[in-house]
Structure 1
Amino acid sequence: MGVDREGGVRRRPGRAVAYAALGAVLLAGCASMPDSGDLRDVESTPRQDTGVRVFAMPPAEDAQATEIMQGFLEALTSDDPQYDTARKYLTADAARAWRPERSATVLANGPSIVTDNQPAGGVPTDSLTFILSGSKVATVDAQQAYAPAGGDYRKKVHLTKDAKSGQWRIDSLPQGVVMGKSDFQRNYTSVNKYYFASTTTAGATGQPVVVADPVFVRGKVDPMTQVVRSLLSGPTSWLEAVVRSSFPTGAALQKGVSDLTPDDQNRLTVPLNAKASRAGSAKCVEMATQLLFTLRNLTPTLESVELQGPGGHRLCDLTGERADSAAWRASAQRPYYLYFLDGKHRLVRLPTGATGTSALPVPGPLGTGDKVLQSVAVSRDEHTVAGVGADGKALYVTSLTSDGSLGEPVVSSKGQAATDRLTTPSWDAHGDLWVADRDPRDPKLYVLEQGGGKPVRVAIPDLPGRIRDVRVAADGVRVALVVEKDGKQSLRIGRIEREDKPGERPVVVDLRSAAPDLEQVTAMSWAGDSRLVVVGLEQGGVHQMRYVQVDGSTLDGPAPAALSGVKAIGASEDERAPLVAYSEDGIVRLPAGAQWQKVDKDGTAPVYPG
């Protein structure tokens, strides 16, 4: 449980505040606690600078019940690693039974607080119950996995007055913690853990493909050690069916290990227990790869990791360069070109790092303009292109070589209107091609292995509407779908499960919302290992562009610069590549630190590989 701190709200006077230059100590009074009467929102304090650590004060002698409640809530939004100060507000039995790490509930604002029972006629009492309430935004479970949530939050906290000491303490409370959205953003940070896709390898190289598994950790409470423990404990429940970890069952940090920190050469040593040390050399390299990718997501300057067994025995070490060759990761793949359709119906390309706007036609039949297309997708290795004809009825696949030929359609739709036919196609790292048929009489999702052969229909047993758009993740185990139901279009992320048995169809399961506050999603693209860029409309709002995580969370940081009339969006998992869009101004791009720049006023359908 906790109290929200947001900007601009006056603090209550008389609270203890202490600052230190390094690792500052701060207690901000922030709860407005009525003894009776109507519910009131908890007052908030401004979000603190990320370099400031926040520590709470223990209960004061002879503190009243309302002060105990207030102090406890403040303690739960502090950076106390084990919540030791918060436990001082509890009775001994309650302190032993309370498990703050079990869950975190995020509310739109700080919890509102009111006493549930009042002494009659002002008669003193030694027992009080407070009710915490609010509107839920999300939850974080014991695996540190985030999930959007809605509805009301209402929980009771009971306080009792000790007969001997005369001190008020909390003797009954819900498990986990609760706090407002602003406090959650200050206290927690999102980190991608990395595992290997169980059934996907990268194209011709055969490298194992890594999959990002985002979790939230307390950002100022030894985050590196938290993340390593989380990685070793295995993937979150949503992802575990389609990924594997190279860490043996039971692998863990050695007892007493904490404060994992890189040395002055940006190298990190990770001491592991005996079970982890039994892995062979090849598995050890994969273990180190998982660690390095995961920790670089938290500390980008990390150069290498060394895994040690009991007694300081060196198991293996790995540099970033070796990790990139040991496994395929989408965000590490630099696309050579940006592609789009020009005003002459030609598929053209522009070097990703180019500052100019002179795009050239691609080699092969789609660079001539003879075939009019409405959308395209280029394979991850940039050797093959898939294109949907202008009327949306047919999907063609051809090579990006001068001797390539268009051939016959590989997928056809019988939808009556162009908007009820084929979606923009999408490629994964294995070289499989995905496309949806929007025909309302028989909607379906197809995958074509290596972009050819007979299309295989993909089952989606819990699809809550009709697919309007599809983008498969590079890892081949997640897919983003724009789903239409009752006139609204939402963004869903599904897990792709495949059987090794011949003839078994892939299935997309466990669809979850990635942008719950958008009621109309009009365009989207993968823009990182676990991030998408989305264009959509909020309830009663205007169109906007933003980044969202696959778990439905919104990361701190600026959204892309505003752009009107967006019809399509293109992004690369490599965040160095500029964002591109098809808008009322044609093809435009957004270089880092700049405004939108016009590329081609007559161009359409911009895409990066994928």
Structure 2
Amino acid sequence: MTAHKAAHATLAVLTALSVASCTSLPGDGSPQVLRSYQPALPSEDNASPVDGREPDLLLRDFFAACGRPTGGHQVARSYLTTRAAESWNDAAGTTVVDRIDINAQAGGTDDKITYVIRGGVIGALGTGGTFTPKPGETEAIIELVKVDGQWRIDSLPQGVLLERTELQNNFSPQNLFFFDSTGRFLVRDRRWVYTRQPQLDTALISLLMEGPKGLLAPGVETAVPPGATLVGYDGAYKFSGFGNLSPEARHKFAAQVIWTLAKGGITGPYRIELDGAPIDPNVPDLDVEDVAEFNPSAASTAVAPLYALSNGSLVKAEGDSLVPEGNGLGSSGKLQSAAVSVSGELSAGVLVDGADEAQRSTLLVGPPSGGLTDVLQARTLTSPSFEYDAIALWTVSDGRAIVRIARSTTTGEMTQQAVQVPFLDEDEHRDLNIDELKLSPAGVRAAMIIDGNVYVGTVSRPGPGERRMDNVVQVAPAIGASAVSIDWMHDGSIIVGTSEADTPVWRVEPDGSGATPLPSGNITAPVTAVATSSTTLFITDARAALQLPINSNSSAFWREVPSLVGTRATPIVGS
């Protein structure tokens, strides 16, 4: 028995209430978890208001306590009067702000004071720990009164207001794994999970059993059948309701559980029982090797060749040499953008003739050495973005129409398909233009630059052969309208190049919960191109093509790409 399993066997019985309150903010699941009995540990320390605390400081203490959701925010309620504690509905929604500004209104007395609370909204934390970006501003009125000589909050708005620092201090981002709509790839679903709980594994599995939620839900599927439940843990993770599931679906469910636990830092082997029997009677204890075909990090370990767009032609970096692509894209001289599939079996480029209103853009696609097919023409076309395995590629025609170019696997014939984008049909968005679009590695998400701002959408399949972009939201408002280039990193985050001299490159979290400037000491804005491999970030700034190892520290300097020294080329990595 592993140390992890031995520790499990001595943990306390958890009630449905305690698990539900700890799982997420807010959380409504209530799985029954079986554990060997020991006296239950308190879910929170004995935090309470400090006697004699000044009203503004007590109010800040209250907002810090809002980061502890257990018991219906029992710690935060201790800062309220009895009347306010009974009427405050903490389940009315959790708004996350960058910081909370507190200003007293005039007219306060020795026994009563009113504050105006303001903050820049980042987003909302929802059921199951989902995060939804919602840039904006919030303002509220909060009244404090003295009760037995101590200041207490007597009036406040419904719901929870949470500073980003308290979100980061009390919750950790964890990944659940669901399947893309083809059932071939596991896709990360980022959730915020409360850290002060004794069993992370059951919290993660409970969330997994609840299924996809939030913005990602339309684009993913789960192997969990309707009505299936987590029974508990007593040396094995026990589930019920799987009786009619096929062996293939059982294996896929095992992949979801195992990779969710493994990426959460919970080591195997894992014993999983469905309706009282192991998933595989011959192998009762499973590990990541048993579901290796669904490894969500497999792409991040592959070494992708580096290409570049240099002097209007597509070239491949081989050592210190640049070899032109042999299908005509390597000698075009008129390419504005290009892309190469992750397998290298197809390349695509946008050839541009003319300028201004007379400009004409043509999308060409073909194998590395062979004929090119003219598949689409428009005044403007964004850089092509391949789906995995080069089954299809996407581009944006004339800033508004997203077009999917599908390739027949039998004949190789290319067909066009319009992607539905309800977001662009809304009145307030009818004048917006898409400057850039990049599909995520599994093709479930799309990152877009729209009028210089960064947006993310979820790709769904409303019918056979159809595609739609759902849940389009703006992320990383801190970047402003300065975004110029965009790409996906292998961990699901997004890299953005901008026109800002002080912050030319950003890393954006996949759920939009945060954005971080990357090292910029020797970059000259604008950053007109970005690309990522499993180990390296590539950019093109105003002078040259540069590279930086992933996970470099904040003081690192970008180096010129060795094979592109002396040329202002655009790096391209297979996607």
Q: Which TM class, normalised by the smaller chain length?
A: 0.7 to 0.9
1:271 is aligned to 2:237:
yes
Give the distance between the partners of 2:77 and 2:522, measured in 1 at CA.
46
What residue is the counterpart of 1:49 in the other structure? none
Q: Any unmatched runs of 5+ in structure 1?
A: 1-52, 202-207, 261-268, 351-355, 416-420
Task: Summarize the Cα distance change of 1:244–1:96 in structure 2 as closer, same or farther, 3 Å threshold.
Answer: farther
Matched ranges for 1:437-456 at <5 A? 437-439=396-398, 443-450=400-407, 452-456=413-417
CA-to-partner distance for each residue in 1:397-420, whole Å, 9 max, x for gaps?
Answer: 1113xxx3223411122x2xxxxx
The DSSP-based 3-state class of the residue aligned with 1:247 is coil
Give the distance between the partners of 1:273 and 1:450, measured in 2 at CA.
41
1:524 is aligned to 2:486:
yes
The DSSP-based 3-state class of the residue aligned with 2:448 is strand
In terms of fraction of residues, the more helix-rich structure is: 2
What residue is the counterpart of 2:392 in the other structure? 433
What residue is the counterpart of 1:365 in the other structure? 327
Kept in 2, the 8 Å contact 1:324–1:332? The answer is: no
Q: 1:183 aligns with which of 156, 161, 166?
A: 166
1:582 is aligned to 2:540:
yes
Matched ranges for 1:159-558 at <5 A? 173-198=156-181, 200=182, 208-222=184-198, 223-254=200-231, 271-275=237-241, 279-299=245-265, 302-308=267-273, 314-315=278-279, 317-326=285-294, 331-332=299-300, 334-342=302-310, 345-350=313-318, 357-362=320-325, 364-366=326-328, 369=331, 372-391=334-353, 393-400=361-368, 404-413=369-378, 415=379, 421-429=380-388, 431-439=390-398, 443-450=400-407, 452-463=413-424, 464=429, 465-484=432-451, 489-501=452-464, 505-517=466-478, 518-537=480-499, 542-554=502-514
Give the distance between the partners of 1:274 and 1:439, measured in 2 at CA.
52
What residue is the counterpart of 2:524 in the other structure? 564
Q: Any unmatched runs of 5+ in structure 2?
A: 1-42, 354-359
Kept in 2, the 8 Å contact 1:579–1:589? The answer is: yes
Residue 221 of structure 1: how far off its partner (Å): 4.0
Give the distance between the partners of 1:157 and 1:368, measured in 2 at CA.
65
1:154 is aligned to 2:112:
no
Comparing 443-452 with 381-390, greater Cα deviation is found at 443-452
Kept in 2, the 8 Å contact 1:330–1:474? The answer is: no
Task: Summarize the Cα distance change of 1:175–1:192 in structure 2 as closer, same or farther, 3 Å threshold.
Answer: farther
What residue is the counterpart of 2:93 in the other structure? 103
Give the distance between the partners of 1:157 and 1:365, measured in 2 at CA.
67
Query: What root-mean-square deviation, in Å, do the aligned CA atoms of Structure 1 and Structure 2 show?
Result: 3.8
The DSSP-based 3-state class of the residue aligned with 1:447 is strand
What residue is the counterpart of 2:39 in the other structure? none
Residue 425 of structure 1: how far off its partner (Å): 0.6
Task: Summarize the Cα distance change of 1:250–1:186 in structure 2 as closer, same or farther, 3 Å threshold.
Answer: same
Kept in 1, the 8 Å contact 2:133–2:473? The answer is: no
Give the distance between the partners of 1:519 and 1:272, measured in 2 at CA.
50
Residue 131 of structure 1: how far off its partner (Å): 4.9
Residue 548 of structure 1: how far off its partner (Å): 0.6
Matched ranges for 1:38-77 at <5 A? 55=45, 57-59=47-49, 69=59, 71-77=61-67
Residue 325 of structure 1: how far off its partner (Å): 0.6
Residue 348 of structure 1: how far off its partner (Å): 1.1
Kept in 2, the 8 Å contact 1:482–1:491? The answer is: yes
The DSSP-based 3-state class of the residue aligned with 1:424 is coil
Give the distance between the partners of 1:63 and 1:407, measured in 2 at CA.
74
Residue 590 of structure 1: how far off its partner (Å): 1.5
The DSSP-based 3-state class of the residue aligned with 1:238 is helix
Give the distance between the partners of 2:212 and 2:80, measured in 1 at CA.
33
Give the distance between the partners of 1:290 and 1:501, measured in 2 at CA.
25
Kept in 2, the 8 Å contact 1:56–1:74? The answer is: no
Task: Summarize the Cα distance change of 1:584–1:512 in structure 2 as closer, same or farther, 3 Å threshold.
Answer: same
Give the distance between the partners of 2:448 and 2:108, measured in 1 at CA.
52
Task: Summarize the Cα distance change of 1:108–1:56 in structure 2 as closer, same or farther, 3 Å threshold.
Answer: farther
The two structures have a TM-score, normalised by structure 1, of 0.71
Kept in 2, the 8 Å contact 1:271–1:307? The answer is: yes
Give the distance between the partners of 1:230 and 1:315, measured in 2 at CA.
20
Kept in 2, the 8 Å contact 1:55–1:75? The answer is: no
CA-to-partner distance for each residue in 1:236-262, whole Å, 9 max, x for gaps?
Answer: 23222222111223444436x7xx9xx
Kept in 2, the 8 Å contact 1:252–1:273? The answer is: yes
Comparing 518-527 with 586-595, greater Cα deviation is found at 586-595
CA-to-partner distance for each residue in 1:313-348, whole Å, 9 max, x for gaps?
Answer: 544554223333146667446143111134593521
One-letter amino acid of the counterpart of residue 433, structure 1: A
The two structures have a TM-score, normalised by structure 2, of 0.75
Task: Summarize the Cα distance change of 1:56–1:112 in structure 2 as closer, same or farther, 3 Å threshold.
Answer: farther
Kept in 2, the 8 Å contact 1:379–1:385? The answer is: yes
Residue 578 of structure 1: how far off its partner (Å): 0.7
One-letter amino acid of the counterpart of residue 507, structure 2: Y
One-letter amino acid of the counterpart of residue 579, structure 1: L
Give the distance between the partners of 2:493 and 2:114, measured in 1 at CA.
42
Give the distance between the partners of 1:57 and 1:399, measured in 2 at CA.
65
Residue 589 of structure 1: how far off its partner (Å): 1.9
Q: 1:145 aligns with which of 107, 119, 130?
A: 130
Task: Summarize the Cα distance change of 1:270–1:596 in structure 2 as closer, same or farther, 3 Å threshold.
Answer: farther
Residue 427 of structure 1: how far off its partner (Å): 0.5
